[in-house]
Amino acid sequence: MVKLLHFLLENTVFQNLLQDLDITVLYVEEETGQTDVTEELQPKCLFVAHSAEEGQRLAAEVQPDVILLNLPVSRAELFMNLVQSARVIVICQEEQAAVWRLLQKGARHFILPPVTPNRVLEAVQESLYDLSLKREVTRQRDMVRAVLEFQTDLLFILEDDQVIDCNTTFLQFFGYEDLLSFQEEVLSVADFFLEEKGYYCPLNKTMWVDDCAVEPKRVRMKNVEGKPRVFYVRASQLPDDVTRFIVLCTDITELEQDYKENERLAVTDSLTGLYNRFKYQALLAEQWEKAYYGYDTFSVVLMDVDHFQSINDTYGHDYGDLALVQLSDLLRKHMRPQDTLARWEGGTFALLLPHATGRQAFQFAESLRFFVETKKFTGLPKLTVSFGAAQHEMGIGREKVLQRAEAALQQAKRNGRNQGWLFRKEKK
């Protein structure tokens, strides 16, 4: 049977299989007579044993992927008793009845008589091909696992809304040791979505992944410690599989906090902490639109610190700024929850009063004026304010309402300050 081994060694297809697939093969054959194998033909990934005992020793040392076992049945059985870790191809030179005993020992691949070199080569090709496919599947699985674990965000794969794979970050966020524990307790990832204004939370939780596949969503979820985090959730359907999706949840908590802080700074007066003129006008536009469609009425008030420039000139800008801060705190304290208070400019403040008629706005502003007049301001002997109030009327723009409030304010100043005035249209 040395001719069989020489045939394999001299066969280019066999040598290419060994090298291309990076497969280690052990060939075991007991042969009396010629035992030398041509060294220059033997590839490094092929090991040859000339007895079952030598084959057992080599199998333990090199851990071959495939074993070609060309032994009598009794010796093959002895070999199989001790070596069961590799894919074994048994070359049967005896009766087929011996196959059953070898099957019981773990052999699964046989070459039955008549044994020819080409049949051996075909069996080796088939076995190595199957082995290479399994290796490729293992490599692909390892690659997917590496990609999952490479992500610091929550990454998971869904099948019919059940998580079938995920990275460690996903499990750690929700406080689970393994995927099985998660699957046993959680029906849908959407169960973790918090119902909060401005964040996505579906009414039909079975449709959440489809929604996220159409357009990414911002959601809030609590981690295992109960701390809410904000995520940008994207989902993508796997190719040619309508039931499976890969989902990536990117933590944008810090980014959103920065955005909200920048947004707050953009609409806030840096000195008083009140809304600035830009924000007031935006809220006024919203309120005017409601009134335009007949949903509500509203009034505006412009309130100005009397002789504010003289205060700065006499006591200094530091005391003037401090007076504005204290005045802002006083006004804010007495505002209703639905009202808006903003610093208009300099020593002027603007009030937006939903659901208030002109008379109601005047009475409210008058109470504020009284609180200001009776308060002791740091470093100043006295501080007073004047105001003008105007009610929105159908058919006029929001700028016209402000102009009427400004006209009423100027009238209050002309009348001696420290008082208010309600705009009224002149009768024709």
Q: Tell me the CA distances in angstroms from 5 to 36, 75, 175, 269, 308, one per residue in order.
A: 11, 19, 58, 90, 108
- What token pair was written down for 30? 């007991």
CA distance linking residue 175 with residue 136, whole number of Å:
33
- % of the chain surpassing 90 pLDDT: 53
Domains 151-256 and 268-422 share a fold: no
- What token pair was written down for 343? 């610093």
Class of domain 268-422: alpha beta
pLDDT digits (tens, 9 = 90+) for 131-141: 777 777 777 77
Has residue 380 got a pLDDT over 60?
yes
Give residue 175's region: left, alpha or beta (phi > 0; psi -120 to 50): left
Structure confidence at residue 353 as a pLDDT band (50, 70, 90): very high
CA distance linking residue 191 with residue 185, whole number of Å:
11
Has residue 298 got a pLDDT over 70?
yes
pLDDT digits (tens, 9 = 90+) for 233-274: 999 998 888 889 999 999 999 999 998 888 888 999 999 999
Q: What are the boundaries of each domain within the chain?
A: 2-144, 151-256, 268-422
pLDDT digits (tens, 9 = 90+) for 48-85: 888 888 888 888 888 888 888 888 777 887 788 777 66
Structure confidence at residue 92 as a pLDDT band (50, 70, 90): low
Has residue 299 got a pLDDT over 60?
yes
Q: What is the pLDDT of residue 98?
A: 62
* Homologous superfamily of 151-256: PAS domain (3.30.450.20)
pLDDT digits (tens, 9 = 90+) for 97-126: 566 667 766 676 777 777 777 777 777 777
CA distance linking residue 141 with residue 147, whole number of Å:
10
Options 3.10.105.10, 3.40.50.2300, 3.40.50.11540, 2.60.40.3880; CATH for 2-144 is 3.40.50.2300
Distance of CA 404 to the CA centre of its chain: 51
pLDDT digits (tens, 9 = 90+) for 1-49: 446 777 777 776 777 766 666 778 888 887 644 445 444 445 567 788 8
Q: Which residues contact 111 (CB under 8 A, 6 or more apart)?
A: 89, 90, 91, 92, 119, 120, 123
Q: What is the pLDDT of residue 205?
A: 86
Please state the three-class secondary structure of 200-241 as a single string: CCCCCHHHHHHHHHHCCEEEEEECCCCCEEEEEEEEEECCCC
pTM, whole model, 2 decimals?
Answer: 0.54
8 A C-beta contact, residue 223 and residue 229: yes
